[in-house]
Structure 1
Amino acid sequence: MQETEAEFLKKYDRREYLAPLMTVDAAIFTFHGGKLLVLLTERCEHPEKGKWALPGGFVDEEKDASLEEAIQRKLQEKTGVKAPYIEQLISVGNNQRDARGWSVTVVYTALVALQSCQSFVDNVSDVRWEMYEEALKMDLAFDHIEIMKAARERLKQKALYSMVPAYALPEEFTLPELQHCLEVLIDKPIQKKSFRRRVEQADLMEEVGLRSADKKGRPSMAYRLKEGVKDFTFIRNLDA
């Protein structure tokens, strides 16, 4: 009589087989003061102890029912908030990236508004926002420099055909703030008229009221994102 699947699973012991280390990591970005910032954490244990790294950690089989739950749990531990936008980026695995052994990490990229988590980050000594350009010069742990670059490139592409970068801004923002954020992400200026026509025709934002006067003495309209922005894509890439 052939063995049933239930009988096979009952006696199956996965500990008899070697398995790679399984982690999740996230490149978390925000936009503040006209600069793109990335969140870094200082490693307090070996390997790579004392180095700065992208936030992440091991998948916990008891706490995490999915990879998405694992990365949101790690992000909340490091920022105190749930990321409003998060996307799986790449998977990286080999026998060289981690001194502990064969390692696989599933990498996500996320966007949060600095204001939503700054008080939490300010009160944690091993977490800090770093300007992206400065982070590139750092000796980050593992292969996190390459991961961070890949995440930055994904954001650049997103900026060309979606409104996703707006999640790096405060909940309420002005059109000039959104335009500047996009310009930083695509590394070049955007024509003001075509940009405003593009976002107005997409109807992805709603007015929330006038903001107090700027340096030129003129009030500006503040907006917030509507539902469905994450899944919206423009037919044409952004014209610069």
Structure 2
Amino acid sequence: MEPALIVTVDIVLFTLSDGQLKIVLLRRELDPYAQQLALPGGYIHPEEDRDSLAAAERVLRQKTGLVSPYLEQLFTFSGGVRDPRGWSASIAYYALVHESVLQPDAEHRFELLAVDGLPDLPFDHNRIVAHASQRLRDKSTYSSLPCHLLPGQFTLTELQHTYEQVLGISLDKSVFRRKLGELDFLEAIPNAMRSGKHRPAQLYKLRDDARLALFNKTV
């Protein structure tokens, strides 16, 4: 009799907190690795999930109570040694949310840890996080992806700071604004301004049809 194949989805859920790129980790309830921090994950349910994306959406919702505005397939990690229960395959996804939606409750308990300096995680979750972090940073150089780490309304300065925190570099303001002008993915909110130390700043939001926009050159 052929051994059962273990097929799961795992999600790297990113947010920005205290100026750092962080991920959501949960404590596993069952063996293997009970009570250790790990990525949100779970089995694919063939009778329920139409595909791996549906499985990832379901697992993310069940494990964290969240629906991410951006969820993308990353890579499939497989082999006979990554899971002590046997040969397994994990279809990994990564997702982005603003920190304000991360509100643990009695049903959904999780921890936020900085991507840089993670402890050893179960299975090959460190490898999955490394791949997801590189994908996020690479894609942020030529797309609107970091917008999904912001709240629903934001200023252009807040948007630039978000890019800088993800990429780990400083960006020239005039060049960055020019890049934004190349694409029509932002919408100014009428009569919405944010007051601060300087003059009030216009508030923007992502256009409803602008899930991901691509620049013709990197930022």
Q: Same fold (TM over 0.5)?
A: yes
User: Equivalent of 1:118, from 102, 121, 139?
Assistant: 102
Partner of 2:93: 108
User: Equivalent of 1:129, from 88, 102, 112?
Assistant: 112
Partner deviation per Cα, 1:150-172 (whole Å, 9 max, x = no partner)? 10000001111100111011111
Question: What is the deviation of 1:203?
Answer: 1.7
In the alignment, the residues of structure 2 paired with residue 191 and residue 146 of structure 1 have an alpha-carbon distance, to the nearest angstrom, of 32
User: Equivalent of 1:98, from 63, 69, 83?
Assistant: 83
Question: What is the deviation of 1:33?
Answer: 3.4
Query: Could you list the runs of 5+ residues in structure 2 that have no partner in the other structure?
Result: none
In the alignment, the residues of structure 1 paired with residue 179 and residue 50 of structure 2 have an alpha-carbon distance, to the nearest angstrom, of 40
The residue type paired with residue 212 of structure 1 is R
Partner deviation per Cα, 1:59-103 (whole Å, 9 max, x = no partner)? 112221111110000111123222111111010111101111101
Identity %: 34
> How do residues 22-61 of structure 1 correspond to structure 2 at under 5 angstroms?
22-61=7-46
SS of the residue corresponding to residue 230 of structure 1 reads coil
SS of the residue corresponding to residue 104 of structure 1 reads strand
Partner of 1:226: 207
Greater C-alpha radius of gyration: 1
Aligned pair 1:155/2:126, yes or no? no
Higher share of residues assigned helix: 1
CA RMSD of aligned residues (A): 1.7
Relative to the length of structure 1, the TM-score reads 0.85
SS of the residue corresponding to residue 121 of structure 2 reads coil
Gap change, CA 1:211 and 1:124, over 3 Å in 2: farther
In the alignment, the residues of structure 2 paired with residue 23 and residue 125 of structure 1 have an alpha-carbon distance, to the nearest angstrom, of 20
Contact 1:85/1:111 (<8 A) preserved = yes
In the alignment, the residues of structure 1 paired with residue 160 and residue 80 of structure 2 have an alpha-carbon distance, to the nearest angstrom, of 43
Question: What is the deviation of 1:212?
Answer: 3.4
Query: Could you list the runs of 5+ residues in structure 1 that have no partner in the other structure?
Result: 1-15
Gap change, CA 1:195 and 1:138, over 3 Å in 2: same
SS of the residue corresponding to residue 78 of structure 1 reads helix
Contact 1:109/1:151 (<8 A) preserved = yes
